[in-house]
Amino acid sequence: DSGVTQTPKHLITATGQRVTLRCSPRSGDLSVYWYQQSLDQGLQFLIQYYNGEERAKGNILERFSAQQFPDLHSELNLSSLELGDSALYFCASTPAPGRTDTQYFGPGTRLTVL
Amino acid sequence: DAKTTQPPSMDCAEGRAANLPCNHSTISGNEYVYWYRQIHSQGPQYIIHGLKNNETNEMASLIITEDRKSSTLILPHATLRDTAVYYCIVRVQNDYKLSFGAGTTVTVRA
């Protein structure tokens, strides 16, 4: 158990809908990272937040957005969902955005878009 | 990011050491080598990381060549629960993301 929690574990929805994935970092960790793992793209970095502010951005679609709240949990919002958004979504956390900080991953949310 | 090259798959006998190679010939002097593994769609699990020196923890050992162009992850006594995809990642200075490649699918057989 990494200490990172994610809800829900599974999510099934239809195209065009909007969903919110939630992540709670390890106790004391200030930075949260979101990754997407699809069958054809592998694990890809989406976005990072540190203490409530966006810190780094990867190949995140404009239909996707994220935020980190004062209690440090983070939410990833996916809108206008397409079939290709079906994937595993992981979050990870670190104490501070130092380059040698180890990222610990949560169990993931499996999103299925029908 | 420095690219890494790993064999796509390898088998290992239970109880034996598993040696997982990784090539990273374009690694820069301030880039670290990280190893993660992912067991059947679970979240990636951190194993070990290093810069120049060999490292050991309760899970594995990391051997980095002197020129740092390659490394080997050693699982000393593989068990069936070690069956997973193992990712070798080189982390760019000031880049906080982890860039995962295809990894090595390790199957431990009884």
Contact A99 B101 (CB under 8 A): no
The answer, for A97 touching chain B at a CB cutoff of 8 Å, is yes
pLDDT of residue A99: 47
Q: Is B21 on the interface with A (CB under 8 A)?
A: no
Give the tens place of pLDDT for each residue, B11-54: 999 999 999 999 999 998 888 999 999 999 899 999 999 999 89
Q: Within 10 Å of residue A19's Cβ, how many Cβ atoms?
A: 18
Res B56 pLDDT > 90: yes
Q: In terms of pLDDT, which residue wins out, A92 or A101?
A: A92
Residue with the two structure tokens 């499996």:
A110
The shortest CB-CB distance from A102 to any of B46, B95, B99 is to B46
Exposed, middle or buried by CB within 10 Å (0-12, 13-18, 19+), for A33?
buried
Q: Look at chain B and count its residues.
A: 110
Query: Could you tell me if A101 and A95 are in contact, meaning their C-beta atoms sit under 8 angstroms apart?
Result: yes
* Dihedral angle sign, alpha carbons of residues B61, A103, A27, A22: negative
pLDDT value for B30: 86
Among the ranges given (A41-55, A90-104, B61-75, B96-110), the one the predictor scored with the smallest mean pLDDT: A90-104
From CA B105, how far away is CA B89, in angstroms rounded?
A: 15
Would you state the pLDDT for residue A28? Answer: 87
What's the order of all strands across the beta sheet hosting B55-56?
B18-23, B70-75, B61-64, B55-56
Interface membership of B41 toward A (CB under 8 Å) = yes
Pairwise CA distance, residues A3 & B60, whole Å: 21
Interface subset of B 88-107, CB within 8 angstroms of A = 91-102
Task: Tell if the CB–CB gap between B41 and A108 is shorter than 8 Å.
Answer: yes
In angstroms, the CA A57 to CA A93 distance is: 15
Instruction: Kindly list the residues from chain B whose CB atom is less than 8 angstroms away from the CB atom of residue A41.
Output: none
Chain pair A-B, CB pairs under 8 angstroms: 61
Q: Residue B1: which pLDDT band, with cuts at 50, 70 and 90?
A: low
Q: pLDDT for B70-87, tens place per residue?
A: 999 999 999 999 999 999
pLDDT over 70 at B2, yes or no:
no
Interface test with B, best of A86, A90, A99 (most B CBs within 10 A): A99
Task: Tell me the average pLDDT of chain A.
Answer: 93
What is the pLDDT at residue B96? 76
Torsion angle (degrees, nearest 10) of CA A21, A12, A46, B62: 100
A25: contact with B, CB 8 A cutoff: no
CA nearest A45: which of A77, A90, A80, A10?
A: A90
First-residue to last-residue Cα distance in chain B:
37
**What value does the mean pLDDT take over residues A73-102?**
88
